[in-house]
Amino acid sequence: MYDPSFPVDLTTCDREPIHIPGSIQPHGALMVLSEPDLTIIQVSANTPALLGHMPQELLGQSFSLLMGPEALANFRESLANEQIESTALYLLTLALGREGRMFDLIAHRMQGMLIVELEPSTQSDQSVILRVYRMVRSAVTACQRAPTLRAFAQSLAGAVRKLTCFDRVMVYQFQADGCGVVIAEEKDEAFESYLDLHYPASDIPRQARALYLRNWLRLIPDVTYQPVPMLAISPDHPSIPLDMSYAALRSVSPIHIEYLINMGAKASMSISLIKNGQLWGLVACHHHTGPHDLPYDIRAACEFLGHVVSLQIGDKEAAEEAADTIAFQGIQAALVQQMSVANDVVAGLTQFHPNLTNFIDAGGVAVCLEGQHVLMGTTPPEAVVRELIEWLGQEVRDSIFATHSLPQHYPPITPFTAIASGLLAVRLDRTRPNYLLWFRPEVIQTVRWGGNPTKPAEVQEGSAVLTPRRSFEVWKERVIQTAIPWRSCEVAAARDLRRAIIDLVLYKVEELSRLNEELTRSNIELDSFAYVASHDLKEPLRGLHNYAHFLIEDYGDKLDADGKEKLMTLVRLTQRMEALIDSLLHYSRVGRAELTWVEVDLHAELHDVINLLAPRLQESGVEIRVPHPLPRVRADQARVREVFSNLIANAIKYNDKEQKWVEIGSSCLESEENGPHYLFYVRDNGIGIPEEHQEAIFRIFKRLHGRDEYGGGVGAGLTIAKKIVERHGGSIWVTSHVGAGTTFWFTLSRIDTQHIPGRTSMEYL
């Protein structure tokens, strides 16, 4: 009795034991034989009409009762020659029963018994067999030549309809979620098209799919048939219940029959399409104008075609993916070349053609690498992208994340679903937030179902009977917040690009390390050469200087004024040459000497530098300003003091204002590129530096003014300051406007210490 409290849902179909129906379809007879004596232990109840024998006359008797000795010998020979373990095969055609009617015998073994199906034979003549062969061969060739999977399926549907003459033939492909979609169709023009209709997974229950894997072809010639019960030699015989998984005559679930009737089908046939041991799809055939039976040879041809094309499905899918992969590889090679030439990953991916927007079909791309965020195409705002990256870093562990419905995973993106319903994210670094992101826009899809996909459970007359839906009119479902799904080849291409970028970066790191080693070695050699050269040059130069003095002292009274002036010029030139050599020697030492790293109180060092420069400050009338105390850093004390000394001395020297001042200050900064560091500046209100010379001033011996202007000098101070700062891992640069003053900026790494307590700003006169 039906219990209303017991839930009746779609799993009722999944629990139906359709492989042991206990009955068959009436267009043939079925017998279960024991071996080797061929005793009939089960028989279908329709033997009187087909064989002229009552079931009771056959049960317990030998199968030989139905045939003569020669036929029996042929039957036994066929059994010995064919492999029919769990596979139903045609054995031979024999005259059986009282009237000697011709039957096709199809046999297989199951549960240790021999199951023989008898179908009235409609053996074709040789010309028909040849015609069927040509049709199958033509179908296989057409499928092989089809350029796409859809074209392949269309060729298959056309070939099966031509072979079978069904009113409608569809190729039905299963989706990942178990639902199916009609991807190809051949039909009579009088009938409505089912092409591209979706069908819910419940239309083909789990155990039915399992049977499709075992039995490649299933025919129902007349959906209005009356099931024929199986009768056994005894009610408790071990053969009961009989597993008919491989039997062509197996009776069909009444739910499936009602389903077909509701669709308007009078007959049906299905051919399994199996890829790598998994049910990929079906060739579904429907006849709407009446019953439709097929002889065994046509069914065998269709089953053979199903086997052959199943082998081609993987090749077709692989060929489509291979073509896409070749295209991806071509663009990837161009991107890698661009990154190598540009010596910049971000520039190589974004600033040339092709770029990442050409690599994978998407509405927009975000390149988030080493603190840079480059957005291309249509993407969410940068702030939203940063938040998304933070979520990816916390919640997604895999290096590749692909979804066609991002709002389901990350609800904060919902306001931007119009442009970012789909996301393909590639993480380039496990420790830093370096990502490539492709966004796909929302595609508001109208999925056309063959009836409402929510199949209701209907209670009939107080019994828990699940009936299939009665309506197969197109039922439309509006799907929002989804994008076109990412194909497997696209995800694979993104993964390959990730590997290529990582390999390139590693190569660049190795190459940079090698170049740095060579540069270090070259600098050491150059510094050594400069030291030796400057030292060796000073000896003859000192001799020239001394001999010039000797000539003036010993022969001055014998020289005229012009001669004396020439000797004095020689003395001045040797003095200048010695100053240049001293500067070169000092620059060489700065490059060669090991740095002594200690914690340095820059405020105290600045105080000492200002005291040393006090005479020049008083003479020039320059005001020193220090708005805030300078911090402590880890550095070489003497070298850092020299940087401040050179920069302040320059600021004093190149100033033509009446009220001169020099300001020294610092600020604390942090960046992804340089980490925590201090930015120092030395600012003046002096003469300024033309923009075109602001890089040249850091070259050794480069002066912008005459030898004796602004106190003279050899032009090495800024070069030495630059060398010292760079050896400390910092950088130095200048900003200036002619007539409005100059600011020199330089950076040094920060250490975690505080300013010395009790400090105040300083002012020096």
pLDDT at 518: 78
Local confidence band at 467 (pLDDT 50, 70, 90 cut-offs): very low
Q: Residue 253's beta-bridge partner residues? A: none
The Cα 574–Cα 288 span in angstroms is 115
* Global confidence as pTM: 0.56
The Cα 118–Cα 419 span in angstroms is 63
Q: What value does the mean pLDDT take over residues 563-591?
A: 66
In this structure, are residues 534 and 579 in contact, taking their beta carbons and an 8 Å threshold?
no
The Cα 366–Cα 433 span in angstroms is 13
Q: For 294, phi and psi rounded to 5 degrees?
A: -130, 135
CB proximity list for 625: less than 8 A, separation 6 or greater: 661, 662, 663, 664, 763
| DSSP helix/strand/coil, 243 | coil
pLDDT tens per residue, range 203-215:
787 878 888 888 8
Q: Would the pLDDT of 471 be above 60?
A: no
Distances (CA, A) of 478 to 52, 448, 634: 59, 9, 65
| More confident: 46 or 146 | 46
User: Of 515, 504, 518, which Cα lies nearest the Cα of 341?
Assistant: 504
Single-letter amino acid code for the residue at 129: I
Structure tokens at 461: 């007359």
Q: Would the pLDDT of 470 be above 50?
A: no
pLDDT at 44: 96
| More confident: 46 or 714 | 46
User: Of 572, 588, 567, 582, which Cα lies nearest the Cα of 537?
Assistant: 582
pLDDT at 586: 60
The Cα 604–Cα 411 span in angstroms is 56
CB proximity list for 92: less than 8 A, separation 6 or greater: 74, 75, 78, 105
pLDDT at 178: 80
Of 79-93, 648-662, 706-720, the poorest mean pLDDT is in 706-720
pLDDT at 503: 86
- Torsion-angle region of residue 496: left (phi > 0), alpha (psi -120 to 50) or beta? alpha
Return the CATH number of 125-224+251-316, one of 1.10.357.10, 3.30.450.40, 3.60.15.10, 3.40.50.880: 3.30.450.40
Q: What value does the mean pLDDT take over residues 316-344?
A: 85
Local confidence band at 757 (pLDDT 50, 70, 90 cut-offs): very low
Q: What value does the mean pLDDT take over residues 756-760?
A: 36
In this structure, are residues 268 and 293 in contact, taking their beta carbons and an 8 Å threshold?
no
| More confident: 558 or 576 | 558
Structure tokens at 490: 């696209």
- Report the interhelical angle of 637-653 vs 717-727 (nearest 10°): 150
| More confident: 1 or 740 | 740
Q: Would the pLDDT of 72 be above 90?
A: yes
pLDDT at 582: 60
Residues in the chain: 765
Neighbours of 452 (CB within 10 A): 14
pLDDT at 531: 64
Percentage of residues of the chain with pLDDT beyond 90: 38
pLDDT tens per residue, range 231-282:
998 888 877 888 998 899 999 888 888 888 888 899 999 999 999 999 999 9
Structure tokens at 600: 């340095």
pLDDT tens per residue, range 297-328:
899 899 999 999 999 998 888 887 888 888 88
The Cα 330–Cα 498 span in angstroms is 15
Q: What value does the mean pLDDT take over residues 438-449?
A: 70
Neighbours of 519 (CB within 10 A): 11
Residue 55 has, within 13 A of its CA and on its CB side, a CA count of 17
Residue 379 has, within 13 A of its CA and on its CB side, a CA count of 25
Q: What value does the mean pLDDT take over residues 629-653?
A: 88
Neighbours of 539 (CB within 10 A): 8
pLDDT at 466: 39
The Cα 46–Cα 23 span in angstroms is 11
Q: What value does the mean pLDDT take over residues 646-651?
A: 88
User: Of 48, 62, 252, 283, which Cα lies nearest the Cα of 155?
Assistant: 283
Q: Residue 168's beta-bridge partner residues? A: 187, 286
Local confidence band at 697 (pLDDT 50, 70, 90 cut-offs): confident
Q: Would the pLDDT of 82 be above 60?
A: yes
Local confidence band at 710 (pLDDT 50, 70, 90 cut-offs): low
Distances (CA, A) of 170 to 150, 159, 277: 12, 11, 22
Q: What value does the mean pLDDT take over residues 378-382?
A: 95
| More confident: 182 or 431 | 182
pLDDT at 595: 76
Sign of CA dihedral 244, 245, 248, 249: positive
Structure tokens at 390: 């933070």
What superfamily does domain 344-486 belong to in CATH? PHY domain (3.30.450.270)
Q: What value does the mean pLDDT take over residues 537-553?
A: 70
Neighbours of 736 (CB within 10 A): 21
The Cα 47–Cα 22 span in angstroms is 16
Q: Output the CA torsion 37→39→41→47 (10° steps).
A: 140
Q: How far is CA 573 from the centre of its chain?
A: 70
pLDDT at 151: 92
CB proximity list for 733: less than 8 A, separation 6 or greater: 744, 745, 746
Q: Would the pLDDT of 763 be above 70?
A: no
Angle 707-701-678 from CA coordinates, rounded to 5°:
120
Q: What value does the mean pLDDT take over residues 69-80?
A: 92
Instruction: Tell the residue number behind the tokens 């826009």, with chain if given.
Output: 441
pLDDT at 753: 40
Strand arrangement, sheet containing 732-737:
732-737, 741-749, 675-684, 660-671, 622-626, 762-764
What is the topology classification, in CATH, of domain 23-120? Answer: Beta-Lactamase (3.30.450)
pLDDT at 324: 82
pLDDT tens per residue, range 580-606:
566 556 666 665 567 788 999 999 999
In this structure, are residues 13 and 255 in contact, taking their beta carbons and an 8 Å threshold?
yes
Local confidence band at 14 (pLDDT 50, 70, 90 cut-offs): low
pLDDT at 578: 63
What is the topology classification, in CATH, of domain 595-764? Answer: Heat Shock Protein 90 (3.30.565)
Of 52-66, 379-393, 724-738, the poorest mean pLDDT is in 724-738
Instruction: Tell the residue number behind the tokens 């031979």, with chain if given.
Output: 92
Q: Would the pLDDT of 460 be above 80?
A: no
DSSP 660-686: EEEEEEEEEEEETTTEEEEEEEEEE-S
CB proximity list for 242: less than 8 A, separation 6 or greater: 20, 22, 32, 42, 110, 111, 115, 230
In this structure, are residues 635 and 598 in contact, taking their beta carbons and an 8 Å threshold?
yes
Q: Average per-residue pLDDT in the chain?
A: 82
Local confidence band at 481 (pLDDT 50, 70, 90 cut-offs): confident
Q: What value does the mean pLDDT take over residues 26-36?
A: 94
Do domains 125-224+251-316 and 595-764 share one topology? The answer is no
The Cα 23–Cα 442 span in angstroms is 51
Local confidence band at 160 (pLDDT 50, 70, 90 cut-offs): very high
Domain ranges of the chain: 23-120, 125-224+251-316, 344-486, 507-579, 595-764
Q: How far is CA 72 from the centre of its chain?
A: 64
